[in-house]
Structure 1
Amino acid sequence: MFLKNSWYVACTPDEIESKPLGRKICGENIAFYRGNEGQVAAVENFCPHRGAPLSLGYVEDGNLVCGYHGLVMGCDGKTVSMPGQRVRGFPCIKSYAVVERYGFIWVWPGEKELADPALIHHLEWAESPDWAYGGGLYHIKCDYRLMIDNLMDLTHETYVHSSSIGQKEIDEALPTTSVNGDEVITARHMDNIMAPPFWRMALRGNDLADDVPVDRWQICRFTPPSHVMIEVGVAHAGNGGYDAPDHLKASSIVVDFITPETETSHWYFWGMARKFKPDDLALTDTIREGQGKIFGEDLDMLEQQQSNLLTYPERGLLKLNIDSGGVQSRRVLDRLLADEHQLIAKESSVA
């Protein structure tokens, strides 16, 4: 159901600042912590002695100490020591490829020897001082693919987010979808409309009038295994829309890292990167608060949708033209999953 030989956002640095973190990702129970010289490490969240979660322990001298009987585990999955016991012969537990980059901790839950940090997508907004970022994390009890569907078709904004970013013009502007290799792009442009409440706030945040017509855009980009970056914004009408000069628009990238936990749950790292007033911390907080409420509305809808699908498993999902972005994204995933399963089967037959 989910790719394992891929990079996923596992957590943020603050989550492992003071103690280990246990998190299930793609069905793998993993303990994250900082090892020698502050380097991030990840091992199976299972003490080989009595099966206690290693994440309930603590870090000492770069090693992870089990909080049950004091077994000391190295970042390579090998047992180092245990008070009063001879444990060097204990079987190894699994260790994972893990990288700290762009303000996130990334994990490769599949075969460690295949992990290449160069495969992590470049995020310009995370490295440039011209951008500001603010975000958060939700745990959502639904299939991660439902979230991808949700983000690749923003028609729902009119109904789910009617008090913030929704407006009837979204329904009236048909989206276009294209596929470029493994990337799926769905775009929608709305010209000469009035901005909804969230975007009026953003216009004011960039010292722009909020009571004049604007051109609005939404460009959703899906990339495997489950990332969706959405270029969004409004510009004073008649100035080029998406291509308008920075001083005439409020534009951002909605950041969506969707990390599967189980077949019916995922970790949703959400945020917004903006290229205006990057030093305005109060504006960052205001946008984060507004965006958090918006995504909270998605959470309730998606969890109820998942509940319905589990109750009526025999019912298929209908596909309309507005669903094209999600449909194409699932096709990319299905193709890559088939390739991964074929690779695993080939390795098993050789072994």
Structure 2
Amino acid sequence: MNDEAKRTNGQTIPNGMLEDNYPRNMWWVAAHRDELTTKPLARWLLETPVVLYRLEDGTPAALYDRCPHRWAPLSEGHVEGDKIICPYHGMEFNKAGRCTKAPTQHMRPKTAEIPSFAVREAGAYVWIWMGDQDAIDCDPPEVEYQSDPGWAPVHGYYEVAANWVLIRENVLDLTHIAFLHKDTFKQDDWITAPDTYMDGETICYEQEFDLAPLSPLFCAGMGLPEDKPIKRVQKGRMPSLAISFSDWNVHDPAPEEGHRSDFIVRGCHIVTPAQRGKTHYFWMAAFDVPSLTDVVAEKTRASVTAAFDEDKHLLEKLQASVAADPRGLDFLEVTLGADGAGIKVRQILNKKLKAEGRSLQRQ
């Protein structure tokens, strides 16, 4: 291969960030559990308009957000019992998407059916399976601590104008923290790549650090001063393309009398494809303490948001630039040592798409 070819061979392993690169046969997060009520919620998921709601008994449901009569969005309607009512002509649909009543006529239109999707509530989130419903062979990933009274969570949500893979790779490559987040995370020792390995189909990493001050994002939640040197071990895992975790295992070698010496703060990063080039990003930081004061919770939320705003800004600029560039993905992409986890993400993605009979075009 000549030098010019080497410079223009694009991605060795494609991530499909400009394409439909969303596996269908897996669980994705549709919403935080607190978002779902009997008031219908409209949300684009995997380039599909979906209406999410709870039946009056609290059961979550999800349908294609389009009445088959004159295509009015069902999300503009309302719920009565176990039915959702179209706002346009009052047609009623059950959670299976079947029309059970058309008030303007005596006969129920037998062809008036719309797709329904399997939804399951697990931990703090409502999950959805949008592929082959007969292919459901597992439960959503377990996230026990999200509802454990021994843990105190802080959570948030973004809609990011970038492909979901960019966010997934971002949260698995933590060497960017020392640069992009130098004024927010203030963790400048994170410049070497962790050991990355596979545990079955789960991507894992682990890295131990010498004594250094903890990031101010998490000091308040642990009751630690921002200038105190501590030991920490970073552990991460991605059991699904939809969700990954990053644990900060903190050890204070000289705790004050009566204070704990060991803490864990668990980061949770959830991505769900929305419309093309957009992603729902749900995040959570959970401390292994029973509760946080309102002041500490708000300080933590504001600090994490300030850091994630930096990610959002850069990834949206990246997406827009690549999408507008006529060369698109046909441009040299250099892989560094810290990209081990990101490369594994792409390998898993391509394997899942191949299993669904789809593939990404190598640029």
TM-score, length of structure 1 as denominator length: 0.88
Contact 1:191–1:237, Cα closer than 8 Å, also in 2? no
1:66 corresponds to: 86
1:113 to 131, 134, 145: 134
Distance in 2, matches of 1:103 and 1:196, equals: 26
CA gap 1:33/1:308 in 2 versus in 1, 3 angstroms: same
Match status 1:131 vs 2:144: no
Contact 1:140–1:266, Cα closer than 8 Å, also in 2? yes
In the alignment, residue 195 of structure 1 is paired with which amino acid? L
Match status 1:57 vs 2:57: no
Distance in 1, matches of 2:227 and 2:305, equals: 25
**Alignment RMSD, CA only?**
2.1
Contact 2:122–2:143, Cα closer than 8 Å, also in 1? no
In the alignment, residue 75 of structure 1 is paired with which amino acid? K
In the alignment, residue 96 of structure 1 is paired with which amino acid? F
1:221 corresponds to: 237
Aligned residues with identical type, % of pairs? 27
In the alignment, residue 43 of structure 2 is paired with which amino acid? R
In the alignment, residue 297 of structure 1 is paired with which amino acid? E
1:235 corresponds to: 251
* Uncovered stretches (5+) of structure 2, i.e. residues with no partner: 1-20, 359-363
Q: Deviations over 1:225-244 (max 9, x none)?
A: 321111124322589xxxxx
1:332 corresponds to: 348
1:345 corresponds to: none
Distance in 1, matches of 2:275 and 2:225, equals: 46
Q: In the TM superposition, what is the alpha-carbon distance from 1:153 to its structure 2 partner?
A: 0.4
1:346 corresponds to: none
Instruction: Say which SS state the counterpart of residue 257 (structure 1) adopts.
Output: strand
Distance in 1, matches of 2:51 and 2:124, equals: 19
Q: Deviations over 1:177-223 (max 9, x none)?
A: 11122111122322112233324x33xx4344443321233222122
2:26 corresponds to: 6
Distance in 1, matches of 2:135 and 2:193, equals: 41
Instruction: Say which SS state the counterpart of residue 341 (structure 1) adopts.
Output: coil
Work out the number of aligned pairs and report it: 331
CA gap 1:161/1:233 in 2 versus in 1, 3 angstroms: farther
CA gap 1:206/1:253 in 2 versus in 1, 3 angstroms: closer
Equivalence map 1:155-194=2 (5 Å): 155-171=175-191, 173-194=192-213
Q: Deviations over 1:279-300 (max 9, x none)?
A: 5444333222221222122111
Contact 1:208–1:248, Cα closer than 8 Å, also in 2? no
Q: Deviations over 1:25-57 (max 9, x none)?
A: 112221111125221111111101001111111
More helix by share: 1
Distance in 1, matches of 2:225 and 2:33, equals: 38
Contact 1:163–1:197, Cα closer than 8 Å, also in 2? no
**Higher relative contact order (CA closer than 8 Å, sequence separation 6+):** 2
Distance in 2, matches of 1:79 and 1:214, equals: 61
Contact 1:192–1:237, Cα closer than 8 Å, also in 2? no
Distance in 1, matches of 2:30 and 2:101, equals: 28
Distance in 1, matches of 2:113 and 2:125, equals: 27
In the alignment, residue 83 of structure 1 is paired with which amino acid? P
In the alignment, residue 52 of structure 2 is paired with which amino acid? F
Distance in 2, matches of 1:160 and 1:168, equals: 10
TM-score, length of structure 2 as denominator length: 0.85
In the alignment, residue 150 of structure 1 is paired with which amino acid? N
Q: In the TM superposition, what is the alpha-carbon distance from 1:154 to its structure 2 partner?
A: 0.9
* Uncovered stretches (5+) of structure 1, i.e. residues with no partner: 240-245, 343-351
Distance in 2, matches of 1:113 and 1:196, equals: 46
Q: In the TM superposition, what is the alpha-carbon distance from 1:249 to its structure 2 partner?
A: 3.4
Distance in 2, matches of 1:49 and 1:206, equals: 55
In the alignment, residue 134 of structure 2 is paired with which amino acid? E
Q: In the TM superposition, what is the alpha-carbon distance from 1:247 to its structure 2 partner?
A: 1.5
Contact 2:205–2:237, Cα closer than 8 Å, also in 1? yes
